[in-house]
Structure 1
């Protein structure tokens, strides 16, 4: 905001400098008196312009409109005096003074009164627009922070339940599970604070999560994860896919065959496609959005805030399997736009 105000000050200085040069050029044919004549003319313009400009700043509300008009009338009546005082002929005869006063009052004063009002209104409009955008941005960031804060306890509770089972059974894989959880939490707490993270890092996070969940199963890996395309150059909002993967585990049968959960990540023509498929369990109701769950509603809200009109989320219930397909368009462009916004702010 302060940066914008400084820009407005610079615009005032430049425009008034150009105006003074133009006025001096126009009045230079008035003989030897042109410096004082030009000075008086400029002083009158400045007095009327900034008088109204700062009155609108001091009395912006309707409740103080009476005070504004009284002071504006005083400025309008006083406005011609600097020009007349330095005019070589206006102060010689009373009749000439009155004539020049009326002429200045009906020509110069109304014009610069209007220009002062126009400048104030324009600056207010720009500043209010920027302020509104900043408030909206803060609201979005607050909501994103709230949605993101829901991820940690939700994920933590599910994983601690798994570790509790391993400890209860005195499984040898319990220490490894604790280490994996520590690695995952380190990413969630520290690395995921950025607006975007490399897609390759997010995929590594999902692989760690899959490795942690695999400790529950004695069979071969139950998740078949494939990645196609150049993920090294792509950036994505962090922790965006974890709920979809959690739902796939949660709402699948207790016993899973190797490769029963299929995850496909594809980068093609600046579009990211994340597709996850899992077999349907025996739980009644909508297996993807159970009552009180925060999984998909959280994902939907984050997508709406982070990628408005740049994403699609499709859910297909085919009876025996569930398929969730998430597409994010213009992925490279959006990453660059976020970097530009961060640099601007």
Structure 2
């Protein structure tokens, strides 16, 4: 767990908070205290250190008390539940309590300790304390709401990532049973014929299973492994479909040590087989182009559609799931476009690598 996300128990309560939350609030009150130290520094010379320290401590402690009473009690119980009059009434009452204590202390300081300011204006004192308190409370509320909103967004994103990863893991655990069923049937037929293609088919299937069971658990994998998995998938599908299908993948460029999230390229090809080649017995085709450079990867897959297209069978990772993963993993650095015509379907994916 990240150090900033560690939980800390709040003294004298049953509540906990994060290290990050505590650091932000500590920094805020250090700044407030520093401001009062600077503003009241003249008391150090006129009233002495004890009265100077007491003035600052009383003011800051009272502000902290009403600030956290507001954000941890009044705010969630009344403002966020729509009981606005109750909320504002309690805020005003808490400020009046602060004004009473602070103004009495100010009167003692300025009326008896510092003789030259004995006739200090009460209206001025009350006005200053009231509006300064509103100002600091007004800063604390948006600070808390901003932190809560940020943490909520982080939590929602974490839940979305975990949910999506669970979906990918489930789909990976299925290993596309329809695909495996067809491959094993073809492998059985090849072994009966004692075909030289059988050992190569077993090797490619073994490499695919190894990648899916082990490598694809990682957050990122070497790009060459992802491409190798894709090539094995296409080669096995070519064997399954036979000579009546035109299936080709052209690769421009070479991997330059880049890493990519696993199973991002397969959905484009898998979708093409599901919607096109896999649903036609002859005259089917699938053409893919993969372009690699040091900053990006681009892939296009185009296939013909059967003359009487019906609803595509369900299964596989799918383009919908792919788009969700891209939005979470490569926000602002990807493009996924699809184009469907009467007889063809085209999908294009582009991912920009981080600098």
Tell me whether 1:248 sits opposite 2:272 in the alignment.
yes
Residue by residue, what CA displacement relative to the aligned partner does 1:111-152 show, whole Å, maximum 9, x if unpaired?
Answer: 441233123213212212212321331243144225424532
Residue by residue, what CA displacement relative to the aligned partner does 1:240-293 show, whole Å, maximum 9, x if unpaired?
Answer: 222322243442243579xx54321013584432122345456x215xx61545
State the partner residue of 1:55. Answer: 69
Tell me whether 1:325 sits opposite 2:355 in the alignment.
no
Tell me whether 1:155 sits opposite 2:176 in the alignment.
yes
**SS at 2:256 equivalent:** coil
**SS at 1:80 equivalent:** helix
Q: What CA distance in whole angstroms lies between the structure 2 residues aligned with 1:92 and 1:13? A: 28
Q: C-alpha root-mean-square deviation of aligned residues, in Å?
A: 3.8
Residue by residue, what CA displacement relative to the aligned partner does 1:159-217 show, whole Å, maximum 9, x if unpaired?
Answer: 13321453367545667655544432332233223444332221011122234334436
CA contact (8 A) 2:226 2:262 kept: yes
Pairing of 1:223-238 with structure 2 (within 5 A): 223-238=247-262
CA contact (8 A) 2:337 2:349 kept: yes
Against the structure 1 CA distance between its residues 221 and 318, is the aligned structure 2 distance closer, same or farther, given a 3 Å change threshold?
closer
Partner residue of 1:5 out of 21, 43, 54: 21
Against the structure 1 CA distance between its residues 70 and 226, is the aligned structure 2 distance closer, same or farther, given a 3 Å change threshold?
same
Q: What CA distance in whole angstroms lies between the structure 2 residues aligned with 1:71 and 1:209? A: 69
**SS at 2:48 equivalent:** helix
Q: What CA distance in whole angstroms lies between the structure 2 residues aligned with 1:16 and 1:197? A: 49
Q: What CA distance in whole angstroms lies between the structure 2 residues aligned with 1:268 and 1:174? A: 35
**SS at 1:216 equivalent:** helix
* Higher RCO, 1 vs 2 (CA within 8 Å, ≥6 residues apart): 1
- What is the Cα deviation at residue 22 of structure 1? 1.5
Q: What CA distance in whole angstroms lies between the structure 2 residues aligned with 1:293 and 1:143? A: 17
State the partner residue of 1:38. Answer: 52
Against the structure 1 CA distance between its residues 193 and 119, is the aligned structure 2 distance closer, same or farther, given a 3 Å change threshold?
farther
Q: Which runs of 5+ in 1 are unaligned?
A: 337-345
Number of paired residues?
A: 319
Higher mean displacement: 196-205 or 101-110: 101-110
Q: What CA distance in whole angstroms lies between the structure 1 residues aligned with 2:266 and 2:205? A: 14
Q: Which runs of 5+ in 2 are unaligned?
A: 6-17
CA contact (8 A) 2:286 2:301 kept: yes
Pairing of 1:76-155 with structure 2 (within 5 A): 76-85=99-108, 87=109, 89-90=111-112, 102=122, 105-149=125-169, 151-152=171-172, 153=174, 155=176
Higher mean displacement: 63-72 or 223-232: 63-72
CA contact (8 A) 2:110 2:120 kept: no
- Scaled by the length of structure 2, the TM-score of the pair is 0.72
